[in-house]
Amino acid sequence: MKSLFYAIALSAFAFSAQAALSGGIGDLLVTPTRIVLDQHKHADEIALINTGNSTATYRIEVQHMRMKDNGDMVPVDEPADAFADALVQFSPRRVVLEPHITQTVRLRMRPPSGKPAAPELYLHLLFHAEPPSDDAAAPVSDGKTLSIHLTPIYGVAVPIIVRLEESDASVRIDALRMAAGAVAFNVARNGSRSTYGNIAVTFTPRGGISRPVASANGVSVYAPLAARSMTLPLKLPDGVALRDGTLQVSYADAEPKGTQSAIATLALP
């Protein structure tokens, strides 16, 4: 009986502030991990750095994603004109990185040919590793069993936001509540663009001083989503009990001339 082999590609997408990719194909550091192009800034660059000890090849592709109400970004099957495909040029689209070498991907915003679908459009650039062509770890079959060869493929998605006109947005914190050692709330967005800011949670006991108990940086709400839910575990200083005081959740915009700040408080008995 002839041997039968299958190659299964497993994709893992990362959306953190910085992401290191590993798994025998090489390590990749991508920076920055968020880019905004507008009327004042038409071009930018993304640096790819191979922090591993072997040469790796990475392909750069456009990925369409939407944010769910829990904050997760998921691929979607929507028309390209609902995203910024026609407004963003980038090169190269494939890079071969030797160990500890940096490669720059250049981006440029081009004017729309007609009326855009919205004042702000975006897309994600997906940087994913190509598996080695000569895989020395190929499985050995005895001719009687089915062999499955798993080849992991790692990727990082970077949002590219294009703002075609002056836009604004406001944020509010609502539905603030306690949830089993954590604080839960919604970050609600209103306006013509997405938001991007930092969350800080403090607790102030009655007659005492405020202490930080939770935080989250780089919190976005992407249009057209109106609000996303968040739950942050609380870390109380030693000797501090979460009672008889006030819990405050604040949002501080992380972009110049961007959204307004927002604050919500919860009285604790």
Q: What is the CATH number of the domain that holds 176?
A: 2.60.40.10
Residues 6 or more apart whose Cβ sits within 8 Å of residue 207: none
71 and 189 part of one domain: no
Structure confidence by residue, pLDDT tens digits, 142-182: 566 665 655 555 678 999 999 988 888 899 999 999 998 89
121 and 215 part of one domain: no
Owning domain of residue 85: 5-163
107 and 211 part of one domain: no
Domain stops at, among 163, 186, 206: 163
Domain stops at, among 163, 179, 213: 163
Question: What total of structural domains would you count in the chain?
Answer: 2
174 and 251 part of one domain: yes
85 and 26 part of one domain: yes
Residue 14, pLDDT score: 37
Residues in the chain predicted with pLDDT less than 70, given as ranges, are 1-26, 132-154, 256-260
Residue 60, pLDDT score: 96
Residue 40 to residues 36, 44, 79, 99, 166, Cα–Cα distance (Å)? 10, 12, 27, 36, 10
Residue 140, pLDDT score: 52
Residue 203 to residues 120, 132, 215, Cα–Cα distance (Å)? 36, 52, 12
